[in-house]
Chain A
Amino acid sequence: MRQDSLLSIRDLRTQFHTYEGIVTAVDRVSLDVYRGETLGVVGESGCGKTVTALSILRLLPSPPAEIQGEILFEGTNILDLDPDEMRRIRGNAISMIFQEPMTSLNPVLTIGEQISEAIRIHQGVTRQEAWRRAVEMLQMVQIPSPNARAHEYPHQLSGGMRQRAMIAMALSCHPQLLLADEPTTALDVTIQAQIVDLMQRLKDEFEASIVLITHNLGVIAGMAKRVVVMYTGKVVEQAQVKDLFREPLHPYTQGLLGSIPWMGRKLATGRRLLQEIPGIVPSPLEMPDGCRFHPRCSRAMEICGKEEPPLVQPDDGRKVLCWLWA
């Protein structure tokens, strides 16, 4: 699969200067998003998924945040743009869907006003035209009677409807890249499936790329082609979805997959019980030496606690950050 890359991140490092010290939320992350693909980003809470997305849009307040590295979007380094140029990219070329549909819509503005706001900012069309397009977008995200719904306030819509409205808002300017930060986490399972379908369909229709951030591996399996697994701000494994599910290489990925309940099927390890990854994510201020996962890793070796593991490529298109494969 050779496609040209739409977004390529090189050595991205996002740090926060806090009173307790410097917190490195994203540590030398490199990844590519190709045109028209959906890239899944998985990991536990606090592993830097959201901060990566916010860094791409430069939405983190600086100070305390400090972003280093390169974020090349269509060849331009986003980190070099001035605030005005950056604003023209936000919502227009790259837009974002947030986790909480309950709080990501402004309670005092109607759905129609909020969607047409984005259109008016970037397309410079009249109020009426923006409203017409907003209603059209609501229709595209399959909200019934979009004309009436456009006049409603967020509290009059259900969670699923609000997330649809958010998607309509994010896609209203036909962005090339959509950052979806846990778009289905706050929804119940039947609605999750609908939203996943909807995003998949709209992605193809608009020929957009999606970076899908989630801790739900089921959603990844359903939507993404490639996956990036993150742990404590580092990319620990990159692979095609089918390879990752068939044969996870990194012990952390193995742990993640082992902790999903599978109905009527034995786990890769031959056990029926759910596995857990022992311990918790270490505090960003007290990162262990060597491999950051080694205190929780069942296959840790002596070297893991001493030296940082290298990034190895066991076969084409796969990358893993682990001593086991070195």
Chain B
Amino acid sequence: MTEINKNVALRTQGRPANHQLWRSWAKVRRNKAALIGSILILIYFITALLAPVLFPGKPSAPNLIRSLERPSLEHPLGTDELGRSILGRIIHGSRISLLIAIGVVSVGLLVGVPLGLVSGYYGGKIDFGIQRVTDTMLAFPGFLLALALVAVLGVGLKNTVISVGISMVPIYIRLVRGCTLSVREQVYVEAARALGTRDVMILMRHILPNVMVPITVQTSLGMGTAILFAAGLGFLGVGVQPPTPEWGAMLGSGRAYLFHAPHVATFPGIAIFLAVLGFNLSGDGLRDALDPRFKL
């Protein structure tokens, strides 16, 4: 008996979580689009982490003699109007956009998830209040909302993160509220209440973990949107300011040379495109992989 029990104990120890992850990964792997998305994100993360190694030198140091050069061996993606290597600026810009993406979804998660949980769990007047504010925010297209907030807060990295982040909050509120509405009716939530569990504990331990899947998917998709919105603000000149190598701002400044030096605008554009594509593809893949209706 002890032998069997030991075996059971060994097999079950720590297995469930890993097993789940492994199965999800197996599903992601079988989905070609999700795989491409994951590889793109991986490249993007590595680039951001290793930027100083991949491109030593200062990405913002001007070299006016070499301005607007076409791609060459020395500058594989050419140079911009101030003679700075576009490759170098894209590599260093990946750090900025990653920082923005993480900052934006953090704002969205930290504000949106608790409000959504409270709104869905308590219902009634609290729900009504939160939802009418959410309605108002959702009435504006997300980018327009971010733009309006920048107009109030001012330009710069921090304000870009805050305004794009706030524009994402209503999406998280709606998503989490909807999921909470269905989870709070589950018998295990009632059982937890029957055991005398506090509301805060019910929300944190019983409801939140059960709404994590859609939140995770939305976070992946949201990072793509965040990069796009931040680049849009940068392009319009109201986002991150030069000389910081931000992709949207690079695209915006390349616009003036679109006809005689198209590479200045093209390559940052491709960088934005690939990063957003990566997050969207993997977000979709993640949704399929974590959806229990598509069991392996």
Q: State the main secondary structure of chain B at its contact with A.
A: helix
Contact B196 A90 (CB under 8 A): yes
Q: What is the CB-to-nearest-CB distance from A267 to chain B, in angstroms, rounded to a whole number?
A: 37
- CA of A147 to CA of B194, assembled, Å: 25
Contact B12 A151 (CB under 8 A): yes
Among A57, A145, A170, the residue within 8 A (CB) of B9 is A145
User: Using an 8 Å CB-CB cutoff, how does the interface string of B187-223 with A read, 1 for contact, 0 for none?
Assistant: 1101111111110010001100110000000000000
Q: What is the CB-to-nearest-CB distance from B150 to chain A, in angstroms, rounded to a whole number?
A: 39
Q: Which residues of chain A are near B18, meaning CB under 8 Å?
A: none
Q: Which residues of chain A are near B197, meaning CB under 8 Å?
A: 87, 91, 117-118, 121
Contact A152 B210 (CB under 8 A): no
Contact B205 A109 (CB under 8 A): yes
User: B296 on the interface (CB 8 Å rule)?
Assistant: no
User: B182 on the interface (CB 8 Å rule)?
Assistant: no
Contact B195 A90 (CB under 8 A): yes
Q: What is the CB-to-nearest-CB distance from A169 to chain B, in angstroms, rounded to a whole number?
A: 7
User: A194 on the interface (CB 8 Å rule)?
Assistant: no
Among B9, B16, B191, B209, the residue within 8 A (CB) of A166 is B191
Q: With A90-B195, A122-B196 known to touch, is A98 a contact of B187 (CB < 8 Å)?
A: yes
Q: State the main secondary structure of chain A at its contact with B.
A: loop
Q: Which residues of chain A are near B209, meaning CB under 8 Å?
A: 106, 108-109
- CA of A148 to CA of B2, assembled, Å: 12
User: Using an 8 Å CB-CB cutoff, how does the interface string of A48-89 with B read, 1 for contact, 0 for none?
Assistant: 000000000101000000000000000000000000000111
Q: What is the CB-to-nearest-CB distance from A57 to chain B, in angstroms, rounded to a whole number?
A: 6
Q: With A100-B187, A109-B209 known to touch, is A169 a contact of B195 (CB < 8 Å)?
A: yes
Contact A117 B205 (CB under 8 A): yes
Complex interface residues of chain B between 168 and 194 (CB less than 8 A to chain A):
186-188, 190-194
Contact B12 A148 (CB under 8 A): yes
Q: Which has the most chain B C-beta neighbours within 10 Å: A108, A122, A147, A156?
A: A108
Contact A98 B196 (CB under 8 A): no
Interface size counted on chain A using CB atoms at 8 A: 35
User: Using an 8 Å CB-CB cutoff, how does the interface string of B6-26 with A read, 1 for contact, 0 for none?
Assistant: 001100110010000000000
Contact A148 B5 (CB under 8 A): yes
Q: Which residues of chain A are near B190, meaning CB under 8 Å?
A: 59, 98, 104
User: A184 on the interface (CB 8 Å rule)?
Assistant: no
Q: Which 5 A-B pairs have the closest CB atoms?
A: A91-B195, A90-B196, A91-B196, A108-B209, A104-B187
Q: With A106-B206, A148-B8, A166-B191 known to touch, is A121 a contact of B13 (CB < 8 Å)?
A: no
Name the CB-closest residue of A to B207.
Answer: A106
Q: Which residues of chain A are near B196, meaning CB under 8 Å?
A: 87-92, 118, 121-122
Q: Which residues of chain B are near A100, meaning CB under 8 Å?
A: 187
Interface size counted on chain B using CB atoms at 8 A: 23
Q: What is the CB-to-nearest-CB distance from A261 to chain B, in angstroms, rounded to a whole number?
A: 30
User: A219 on the interface (CB 8 Å rule)?
Assistant: no
- CA of A59 to CA of B191, assembled, Å: 10
Known: A91-B196, A106-B210, A110-B16. 14 other contacts (CB 8 A): A59-B190, A87-B196, A88-B196, A90-B193, A104-B187, A104-B188, A106-B192, A107-B188, A109-B205, A109-B206, A117-B195, A117-B205, A148-B9, A152-B16
- CA of A106 to CA of B201, assembled, Å: 13
Contact B195 A118 (CB under 8 A): yes
Q: Which residues of chain A are near B201, meaning CB under 8 Å?
A: 117, 121
Q: What is the CB-to-nearest-CB distance from A326 to chain B, in angstroms, rounded to a whole number?
A: 39
Q: Which residues of chain A are near B13, meaning CB under 8 Å?
A: 148, 151
User: A228 on the interface (CB 8 Å rule)?
Assistant: no
User: A176 on the interface (CB 8 Å rule)?
Assistant: no
Contact B191 A105 (CB under 8 A): yes
Complex interface residues of chain A between 91 and 117 (CB less than 8 A to chain B):
91-92, 95-96, 98-100, 103-110, 117
Q: Which residues of chain A are near B187, meaning CB under 8 Å?
A: 98-100, 103-104
- CA of A8 to CA of B5, assembled, Å: 46
- CA of A69 to CA of B190, assembled, Å: 23
